[in-house]
A and B are shown apart, each in its own frame.
Chain A
Amino acid sequence: AQSVTQLDSQVPVFEEAPVELRCNYSSSVSVYLFWYVQYPNQGLQLLLKYLSGSTLVKGINGFEAEFNKSQTSFHLRKPSVHISDTAEYFCAVSGSNDYKLSFGAGTTVTVRA
């Protein structure tokens, strides 16, 4: 089984500042990793995913994440945030031969002007 820990429950940040959301996972098998975003009162939208290959993954809306196998981490970054990035962000993991996703508890990002 896999599990995910998101190390920050809330991250306040000023507009145009960089942001990093931390995600650690545990698994005994090869994994696929995902970041989802949830805007207020909406469903989840996939930001990016790591399946294999390059450890630096680029996603939508200027986000990127880096897979670090030795540290079992998959941190999400954006160099310059906008007010519209205010949302909740979820890290998720699945085994590479498993359909099931395990989610972290989420990180709420609040961008202030």
Chain B
Amino acid sequence: NAGVTQTPKFQVLKTGQSMTLQCAQDMNHEYMSWYRQDPGMGLRLIHYSVGAGITDQGEVPNGYNVSRSTTEDFPLRLLSAAPSQTSVYFCASSYGFGTPGQYFGPGTRLLVL
């Protein structure tokens, strides 16, 4: 199993550009989520999904969209990048209750100029 994979590993954007961060897992996990990590703030939940076709907002959803058309994939879309979205983004997946976010991807470093 590859586990949780994320692409790209690093990206530089200009303010106003859009992009999609990719996340995939091959463990047949129902639950997937996106976090952003900023210094001194830990990880904050952006969006999550409890299964294909079902998504919901987390703590900091503004400026981000998600969709879940398959169990395996959970892309995160930045509609119009802003410097405040400079961060490290982590995708995570798990089987269900009691094991949320148990498997994390390696992260995507995003710099918005």
Where the two chains meet, the residues of A that have a C-beta atom closer than 8 Å to any C-beta of B are: 4, 6, 9, 32, 36, 42-46, 49, 51, 90, 92, 94, 96-106
Alpha-carbon gap, A97 to B106, bound state (A): 27
Where the two chains meet, the residues of B that have a C-beta atom closer than 8 Å to any C-beta of A are: 31, 33, 35, 40-45, 48, 50, 58, 90, 92, 94, 96-102, 104-107
Residues in B with CB closer than 8 Å to A103 are 35, 42-44
Given A42-B106, A44-B90, the answer on whether A99 and B50 have CB atoms closer than 8 Å is: yes
- Which of B41, B101, B107 is in CB contact (< 8 Å) with A101? B101
Alpha-carbon gap, A100 to B106, bound state (A): 19
A96 touches B97 (CB 8 A): yes
Residues in B with CB closer than 8 Å to A100 are 33, 45, 48, 58, 100
